[in-house]
Amino acid sequence: MSSYRSAIDKCMKKGLQSIFPFVIILVVWAASAQIVFLLRGVAFPTPWQTFARLLELLGGDKLSNISIYVHIGSSLKRWLVGFGIAAFLGVAYGLLAGRIQWVEKATARIPQMLLGIPGLAWIPVAILLFGIGEPATIFMIAVSAFSPIAINVLAGIKNIDVHFIRAARMMGAGNNTLFLRVLIPAALPSILNGLRIGLGTGWRVLVAAEMIVGTGTGLGYSIIQARWTLDYTASFVCILVICMIGLLFEQVFLKQLEKRTIERWTLTAEAE
């Protein structure tokens, strides 16, 4: 009975800890809306107005003459395509540079230099290469997300405990076996961490890119269009949806994938 009650208390405590940050955000948001209205006389959308508008849009109301589901779908497609390109190139580069020393020496500074370039700085390059439209947005996502992925994968390969490599060599592991069965599994935490950072970076760049080089659809495009129509509540809805999608992918998908992958590898290592 005491263990059952302890489990319930633990679940309640964990639930409260999860909810508390959202409560703080809602309180600050609501207070900010009141302060702005009192000081400037400007109608600042409250959380309740924003949630009500979200339900209206989900129920069929149009946003920039298009369903919000179309905007969300367009943003997700651009994001996942851009991130997929960045993930493929970043992981491939990190593994190659981690395995071949001269490749690392010749190119390791390139991802570091790219990492220091803000995503929006790629706008003129994207426009010159692809013009205004979806390819420019995908390019900006891919080039911004590539660096953190490549750097983390390379660091994961380079920082592997040398004792693992020596033990594998003593057991007769060849280069391919060493790479596939030792280096990559041992570097998985860094690889997954790089993917998480790249995913978040790509999402932020997506929204900004849609505001400037986007055409017709997307959450970023909807935010900038809401400014011209003075539908600020709709723009707050887009911001809310952006936060929810980013949180969903970060906490529910990638974080759980990282946790389960690391746990599985640890159990395998212990079993062996």
Is pLDDT above 70 for 173? Answer: no
Structure tokens that stand for 185 in this block: 């599994």
What's the Cα-to-Cα distance from 110 to each of 90, 100, 107, 183, 204, rounded to whole Å?
12, 16, 6, 23, 22
pTM of the model: 0.79
When pLDDT is cut at 50, 70 and 90, the band that residue 142 belongs to is very high
State both tokens at 159: 């920082």
Three-state secondary-structure class, residue 76:
helix
**Residue 161 gets which letter from DSSP?**
-
Give φ, ψ of 108 to 5 degrees. -60, -30
Task: Give residue for tokens 């849609």.
Answer: 210
- Please give the pLDDT value at position 9: 58
Where is average pLDDT lowest: 45-49, 79-83, 180-184, 265-269? 265-269
Instruction: With a cut of 50, say whether residue 272 has pLDDT above it.
Output: no
Nearest residue to 113 (alpha-carbon basis) of 150, 158, 83: 150
